Amino acid sequence: MVFKNPNPMCKEELFEGALAQMRKAYAYVDLTDNVKEVLEHTKEMLQANLLVRMDSGSLKVFPAIRVRYNDELGPTKGGIRFHPNVSVDEVKSLAFWMTMKCAVVNLPYGGGKGGVQVDPKRLSAREIESLARAYIKAFADFIGPDKDIPAPDVYTNATIMGWMMDEYNDITRKQNPAVITGKPLNLGGSKGRNVATSLGGYYIFKEACERLDLGKGITIAIQGFGNAGMHMAKLLANEGYRVVAVSDSKGAVYNPVGLDIAHLIEHKQKRRKEGEFSSISVCDNCREGDKKITNEELLELKVDVLIPAALENVITRKNADKIKAKLVIELANGPTATEADHILSKKGIVVVPDILANAGGVVVSYFEWVQNKAGFYWEEQKVFDRLRAKMTRAFEEVYLESEKHKIDLRTSAYVVALKRIMEAIEAKGRHPYD
């Protein structure tokens, strides 16, 4: 095997759990066995060992992977993450969720995902660039603007996407801006892409709060203060909502009267060089009234809304019964384990699933791809207006399906996605033989 398993939690469980969530929706969609066979298996996967020369002059190998889960609706689409706990099971699960996500918001895409097992905080900017270029060298034949389109994910960003696109262009000897999304604006990126995941989640948050009759006086905790969590906190604070807790990998900070989000962002964004990642924590510079707590304690706070915005499986059967929020908005991919879903549902907690709540990123990535293909670029407000339209329509479809079948929003989102994928599969002539 290419990948080591540094985290005992990274077992072959995540993907099976993801499939279990989808299978709950089978009861509400008339799927043939042929369709189920296609949906439950990965289309293709490629692994590689990336050889990088470090600043010390030594050579180091980093395991890497790219998964194309399903392309029935169009070319596969999905981010590349740099993280020490990247595993085959995790990336397969993320590619599966991306398949469902694109179908829920009605994009002409399938699902893909990639990753490198690395701690980017231990690398210099030059080493990260070398790693990014090595990734594209290894997977250049596996991706392409009409086959598989990468984007940023955990611990990757616009700068890294720019390096990757440049490497792909060197290999193919032509300009291919549509091969990667989430790029810098001057390399063909779309306005609004840096806040797209959070803004899409914010539109979903507003729709959900309206259905649950939750007003401006509610309290909110955000687990994760990377790109998605940080921008979500800023959007909420700017609109007058009270964000009482946020966290990163080193811990959390809590203030019952509300945190100074602008101060936390300014503190967190202190970086050494472009392309490098900050090791500064939100816990490092607490103000009067702020209290340091753990990530686990944040999840269990008595708040109205909980927004997981970090990694997978943070809400499990061990802590689900301790969750006190009325509403959970899954800004992260797969933050709620399958067993935890049932517990939250029994407690009456409404969960807006990841395949709907965090789809804003792939929606604006799609807009970027369209703009790259056309060679014509939109103003930011046009991007935001079209994102809002996409997200609110998707929420309405999922909510109505939920009301129709009296099912939770996650199962309902899978029903919407499965219907679209099934129609595409059957339109290609894959009906069962008589």
Which pLDDT score, from 0 to 100, does residue 167 have?
98
Which pLDDT score, from 0 to 100, does residue 15 have?
92
**DSSP string covering 320-372:** GGG---SEEE--SSS-B-HHHHHHHHHTT-EEE-HHHHTTHHHHHHHHHHHHH
Would you state the CATH architecture of domain 41-187?
3-Layer(aba) Sandwich (3.40)
Q: The dihedral of CA 181, 184, 186, 192: what is its sign?
A: positive
Q: Two tokens at 79? A: 């981010």
- Per-residue pLDDT tens digits of the chain, which is 434 residues long: 466 664 444 445 889 989 999 999 999 999 988 889 989 999 999 999 999 999 999 999 999 999 999 999 999 999 999 999 999 999 999 999 999 999 999 999 999 999 999 999 999 999 999 999 999 999 999 999 999 999 999 899 999 999 999 999 999 999 999 999 999 999 999 999 999 999 999 999 999 999 999 988 999 999 998 889 999 999 999 999 999 999 988 889 999 999 989 988 888 777 555 556 666 787 777 777 899 999 999 999 999 999 999 888 899 999 999 999 999 999 998 899 988 999 999 999 999 999 999 999 999 999 999 999 999 999 999 999 999 999 999 999 999 999 999 999 999 999 999 999 999 988 887 555 54
Asked if 80 contacts 114 with a C-beta cutoff of 8 angstroms, the reply is yes
Domain boundaries, the chain: 41-187, 196-357
Q: Two tokens at 233? A: 């906190």
> Could you tell me the end-to-end alpha-carbon distance of the chain, in angstroms, rounded to an integer?
42
pTM, to two decimals: 0.91
How far is residue 350's CA from residue 236's CA, in Å, rounded to a whole number?
19
Which pLDDT score, from 0 to 100, does residue 8 have?
42
Q: Two tokens at 201? A: 């989640």
Whether the domain at 41-187 and the domain at 196-357 fall into the same CATH topology = yes
Which pLDDT score, from 0 to 100, does residue 281 have?
81
How far is residue 175's CA from residue 212's CA, in Å, rounded to a whole number?
48
Q: Two tokens at 5? A: 């398993």
Helix axes 14-23, 88-104, angle to 10 degrees: 30
The CA-atom distances, in angstroms, between 315 and each of 9, 288, 347, 427 are 13, 30, 14, 38
Distance between alpha carbon 321 and the CA centroid of its chain, in Å? Answer: 25
Rg (CA), the chain: 21
Asked if 106 contacts 114 with a C-beta cutoff of 8 angstroms, the reply is no
Asked if 26 contacts 36 with a C-beta cutoff of 8 angstroms, the reply is yes
Which pLDDT score, from 0 to 100, does residue 433 have?
53
- Residues with Cβ < 8 Å from 191, sequence gap 6 or more? 185, 377, 378, 379, 380, 383
How far is residue 196's CA from residue 96's CA, in Å, rounded to a whole number?
21
Which pLDDT score, from 0 to 100, does residue 432 have?
56
CATH entry 3.40.50.720 includes domain 196-357 = yes
Asked if 223 contacts 308 with a C-beta cutoff of 8 angstroms, the reply is yes
Which pLDDT score, from 0 to 100, does residue 275 have?
57
Which pLDDT score, from 0 to 100, does residue 10 have?
46
Number of CB atoms found within 10 A of residue 240's CB: 8
Q: Two tokens at 422? A: 């099934």
Residues tagged active-site: 113
Strand order in the sheet with 44-53: 44-53, 59-70, 110-117, 76-83, 148-152
The CA angle 383-275-295, to the nearest 5 degrees, is 80
Helix axes 360-374, 196-212, angle to 10 degrees: 140
How far is residue 417's CA from residue 106's CA, in Å, rounded to a whole number?
8
Phi, psi of 253 (to 5 degrees): -130, 140
Helix axes 261-268, 227-238, angle to 10 degrees: 150
Which pLDDT score, from 0 to 100, does residue 222 have?
97
